[in-house]
Amino acid sequence: MSKVFLILAIIAAGAASFMAFGNKATFTDVLAENKKSKAEITKLKRRNSTELGKIDNAKADLAAVEESRNEAEARRNLKRENLNKRSAAVNTTNGELQKVNLEIQELTTILNGLDLPNPEALNSELETASGEKLELETTIEEQSILAESLRTSVNDKRGVLKSLKKSSADRAASLGVRSRRGRISAVDPSWDFAVINIGNTAGISANDRVIVERGGQRVGMLVVKSVERARIVANLVPETGQGVQAGDTVIFQQKADG
C-alpha cells in the first residue's frame, strides 16, 4: 500500500513538475509575444505618426493650392473685368469711328458736288499768289524804309517844335503869361493830387490855378502844390464833371488868390 502511495506521489510530483514546466514555457512565450507586440505597436505608432505628418503636409499643400487657385481666379476675374471695359471702350470708339466715316462720306459727297478747281489750277494759283506775296513783301519793305525815313523827319521836326515850344514858354515866362500847357502823367484820387509833366516850369509857382481839359472840354481844376524840375505836383479841386485822369491836358491860368 505504501508503495502505491509512493508511486502515486512520484506520479503526482512528476505531473506537478510537468505542469510547472509547461506553465513556465507558456509565460515565457507570452512575454516574448508581448514584447513583440509592443515592438509592432511602436512601429505602427511611428508609421502612423509619419502618415499623419504626410497627411498634414498634404493638407498644407492643398491649402496652398487652394489659395493659389483663389488668387488665380481673382486675377482671371480682374482680367475679365478689364477686358469687358476695353471691349466697351472699343465698341464706343468703333461707334465714334462710324460716325466720323459717315461725316467723311457726307463731306465727300458735298465736295464732289462742288465745282472745285483741279490740283493743277490750284498749284498755278498758289504760284501766282506766292509771286504776289513776294511783290507785297518787297513793297512793304520799301514802305518800311520810307516810313523810317518819315519817322526820322518827324522826330527832327518834333525836336524843332520842342525847341520852339521851349522858346515860347521861356518868352511867356519872361512876360509873366500863364497860358502854357502840360499833360497829367499820374493821378492819386485817394490823396487828391496829380503829377503834371511840363518842359519848363519857369514862371510857375505854388497856388497857381490849372485848368484840366480832355478833348477840348473842361473836366476839372488843380492848384499847384509844389514845383520841381520839369514836373509839378498839384492838388485836386473837387468839381462836377468827368474827373481828372492821366493823359488830360492842363492849362496854367492865374494864381488861386488872384
Bigger pLDDT: 253 vs 90? 90
pLDDT for residue 117 is more than 80? no
pLDDT for residue 255 is more than 60? no
Query: Over 27-40, what HEC string results?
Result: HHHHHHHHHHHHHH
Enumerate the domain spans of the chain: 1-116, 127-177, 178-255
Of the candidates 228, 248, 226, 224, the one whose C-alpha atom is nearest the C-alpha of residue 236 is 224
- Angle at CA 242, nearest 5°, toward 238 and 243? 40
pLDDT for residue 248 is more than 90? yes
Strands (E), the chain: 181-188, 193-197, 208-214, 217-228, 231-237, 249-255
131 sits in the region (left: phi over 0; alpha: psi -120 to 50; else beta) called alpha
Mean pLDDT on 85-103: 86
Mean pLDDT on 27-34: 75
pLDDT of residue 82: 86
Mean pLDDT on 126-139: 82
The CATH superfamily assigned to 178-255 is Rod shape-determining protein MreC, domain 1 (2.40.10.340)
pLDDT band for position 36 (cuts 50, 70, 90): confident
